[in-house]
Amino acid sequence: VKSVAGAANAGGATLVDIACSPELVEIARNAGDVPVCVSAVDPAKFVAAVRAGADMVEIGNYDAFYAEGRIFSAEEVLALTVETRERFGASLPLSVTVPHTLPLDEQVLYRILRATRPNAARIVIYMDQFARTLRGNGVCIFSVTELPL
């Protein structure tokens, strides 16, 4: 983390995205001035990381759970979004990655927008399509990021 955050700082990166750990946040913070985003699927884990200096939180990194057969439903992602917003209010930027395992008709972009929009100044939607494959299936990840003005 130290070398990646240092390289990100030297290279002019706009954000470093790391696992949700207060220790890792401190390491990234000490490596430079690049804003730090932490990723997890448990909103309670964000508290210590934000206290340690994380600038942004992301609900995501579902991949580790897929090997265990754990799949996140649209309702779960929405509940995680609402819980995170309730814990931190609108002052902390929040990114929500919608699991690629959801069929397109179940993807919750609109519902996440509704959940995050009441106090949001601006919402940016990212859609990344990766050329690589995951277990023979194309990967399509949608991320909804809320940024204060």
* DSSP reduced 3-state for 140: strand
Phi, psi (degrees; rounded to nearest 5) at 22: -60, -35
Token pair recorded at residue 95: 């990114």
DSSP class per residue in 78-136: HHHHHHHHHHHTTSS-EEEEEPTTS-GGG--HHHHHHHHGGG-SEEEEEEEEEEEEETT
- How far apart (Å, rounded) are the C-alpha atoms in residues 24 and 5? 10
**pLDDT-derived band of residue 114, with 50, 70 and 90 as boundaries?**
low
**pLDDT-derived band of residue 99, with 50, 70 and 90 as boundaries?**
confident
Per-residue pLDDT, 28: 93
pLDDT, averaged across the chain: 75
Per-residue pLDDT, 51: 97
**pLDDT-derived band of residue 70, with 50, 70 and 90 as boundaries?**
very high
The answer, yes or no, to whether residue 3 has pLDDT greater than 60, is yes
Per-residue pLDDT, 98: 77
Q: Which H/E stretch holds residue 97? A: strand 94-98
Residues in the chain: 149
Q: What is the pLDDT of residues 29-64, one digit of tens each?
A: 999 888 999 999 999 999 999 999 999 999 988 888
The answer, yes or no, to whether residue 109 has pLDDT greater than 70, is no
Per-residue pLDDT, 50: 97
Helix axes 22-30, 43-51, angle to 10 degrees: 40
